A and B are shown apart, each in its own frame.
Chain A
Amino acid sequence: GAVVSQHPSWVICKSGTSVKIECRSLDFQATTMFWYRQFPKQSLMLMATSNEGSKATYEQGVEKDKFLINHASLTLSTLTVTSAHPEDSSFYICSARTGLGSNQPQHFGDGTRLSIL
């Protein structure tokens, strides 16, 4: 149980286009989802926290207008990279947590490799 699906797994697109990444909890309701970014051979950095039905909370230094997050249902959160440029190329990973308590574990998706040409 507790499967998180992320789609697409790899996307290549031209500079200036917008890219949407989906994160779905397949067998549980995710009240909170998290988006992380990982540069090659580096650690994961938390970008934002999204709670179902409310605005996402962004970490310091993350551009809200560049990385649009929507968590419209208990099973789906989306990250849209707007007007993507080569510097946005990275590995994006989501995680989802069920329940309202912070003691609930987070379950990770398989990640999305984004390459901007």
Chain B
Amino acid sequence: AQTVTQSQPEMSVQEAETVTLSCTYDTSESDYYLFWYKQPPSRQMILVIRQEAYKQQNATENRFSVNFQKAAKSFSLKISDSQLGDAAMYFCAYRSRRGGGADGLTFGKGTHLIIQP
């Protein structure tokens, strides 16, 4: 079974600064997906960024980028130029690529990101 670990229950950053959220995972599979989801107080799950394990290039989406280290099984999220609207719970998630319907998401425990004005 796969596990996802987020070791930072809470992080705080000044507005306009950069913050990095950590995530490590454990799997015996070689092909999979990794995600970062944002969950604001409304509890809607919002996809922030996605990484395919076979791609060496780190994914980027505007102010959001990841540092994917496959050998180390590490997948951190960097948020640049933090904005007040970035305040939320952030979940790291793993998804197998095996298919056959066995691709539900495994989530980490989440990091509560606080943006200080």
Q: Which residues of A in the span 1-48 have a Cβ within 8 Å of any Cβ on B?
A: 32, 34, 36, 38, 42-46
- A36 to chain B: which residues have CB within 8 Å? 104-105
Q: What number of A-B contacts does a CB cutoff of 8 Å give?
A: 58
**CA A91 to CA B45, docked complex, whole Å:** 12
Partner of A43, one of B91, B95, B100, B103: B91
Please tell me if the beta carbons of A102 and B105 are within 8 angstroms of each other in the complex: no
Partner of A102, one of B42, B45, B91, B103: B103
Chain B 97-117 against A: per-residue CB contact (8 Å), 1 yes, 0 no? Answer: 111111111111110000000
Please tell me if the beta carbons of A51 and B101 are within 8 angstroms of each other in the complex: yes
Please tell me if the beta carbons of A102 and B109 are within 8 angstroms of each other in the complex: no
Chain A 93-116 against B: per-residue CB contact (8 Å), 1 yes, 0 no? Answer: 101010011110110101100000
> How many chain A residues have a CB neighbour from B under 8 Å?
26
29 pairs of residues in contact across A and B, judged by CB atoms under 8 Å: A34-B105, A42-B109, A43-B91, A43-B108, A44-B45, A44-B91, A46-B104, A46-B105, A49-B101, A49-B102, A49-B104, A51-B101, A93-B43, A95-B45, A100-B99, A101-B99, A102-B96, A102-B97, A102-B98, A102-B99, A102-B103, A105-B47, A105-B50, A106-B95, A108-B45, A110-B42, A110-B43, A111-B43, A111-B44
A-binding residues in B (CB < 8 A): 33, 42-45, 47, 50, 91, 95-110
